[in-house]
């Protein structure tokens, strides 16, 4: 299981989740994403590392199972299949059957695969993330296309603009 809420050992839900996984002998791997803030390079590389190390089949989960989970599923498709699967990755954000109805500051998630494909210029997703991805560049890309209000800020940095 890949938990997209990160390690939270002081929270009862996390203690219960990890205890149940241990009991049924399921690998539990934490990765941290925030659906309202653009992720850092290390966060995205860590997610790809989780995809590569957790035994398959695996479950990807967050709190509600929509925004971060759709984003992670899209990245998994691109990581595993390459850029030719961009349309399939983008379908992970569909309202039906996935019930993805993002709030205002979660709309960047759906736009990330297109940005990644454009910015990577054919480089494999992992190589691009490790060597070229920039959260601030993605924020600029969103703003230039009229989507500056689709996120609250960069992970760990509040937005410095009115939205």
Give the model confidence (pLDDT) of 69-115 as tens digits. 999 999 999 999 999 999 999 999 998 877 768 889 999 999 999 99
Q: For 1-5, 44-48, 60-64, 144-148, which range has the lowest pLDDT when averaged over its residues?
A: 60-64
Strands 60-61 and 37-38: unpaired
Q: Cβ distance 161 to 115 under 8 Å?
A: no
Which pLDDT belongs to residue 158?
56
Q: Is pLDDT of 160 > 60?
A: no
pLDDT for residue 153: 93
pLDDT, mean of residues 20-24: 98
**Tokens read off for 13:** 């839900």
CATH 3.90.190 fits 2-157, yes or no: yes
Q: Which is nearest to 1 in space by CA: 54, 67, 49, 48? A: 54
Domains of the chain: which residue ranges? Answer: 2-157
Residue 162: predicted pLDDT: 37
Gap between the Cα atoms of 150 and 163, Å rounded:
8
Neighbours of 126 (CB within 10 A): 16
Per-residue pLDDT, 95: 86
pLDDT at position 78 is 98
Rg (CA), the chain: 16
For 131-140, the pLDDT digits (tens) are 999 999 999 9
Please tell me the distance from the alpha carbon of residue 84 to that of residue 78, in angstroms, as a whole number. Answer: 8
Residue pair 68/2 in contact by the 8 Å Cβ criterion: no
Distance set, CA 85 to CA 43, 89, 90, 125 (Å): 22, 6, 9, 12
Q: How confident is the model at residue 163 (pLDDT cuts 50, 70, 90)?
A: very low
pTM, to two decimals: 0.92
pLDDT at 101: 81
């Amino acid at each position: 299981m890949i938990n997209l809420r990160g390690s939270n050992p002081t929270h009862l839900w996390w203690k219960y989740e990890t205890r149940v996984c241990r009991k049924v002998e399921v690998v539990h791997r934490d990765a941290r994403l925030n659906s309202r803030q653009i992720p850092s390079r290390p966060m995205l590389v860590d997610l790809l590392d989780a995809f590569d190390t957790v035994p398959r089949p695996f479950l990807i989960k967050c709190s509600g199972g929509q925004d971060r989970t759709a984003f992670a599923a899209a990245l998994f498709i691109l990581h595993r299949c390459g850029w030719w699967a961009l349309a399939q990755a983008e379908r992970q954000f569909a309202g039906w059957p996935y019930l993805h109805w993002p709030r205002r500051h979660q709309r960047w998630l759906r736009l990330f695969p297109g940005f990644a494909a454009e910015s990577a210029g054919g480089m494999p997703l992992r190589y691009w993330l490790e060597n070229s991805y920039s959260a601030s560049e993605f924020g600029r890309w969103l703003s230039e296309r009229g989507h500056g209000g689709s996120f609250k800020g960069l992970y760990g940095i509040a937005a410095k603009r009115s939205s």
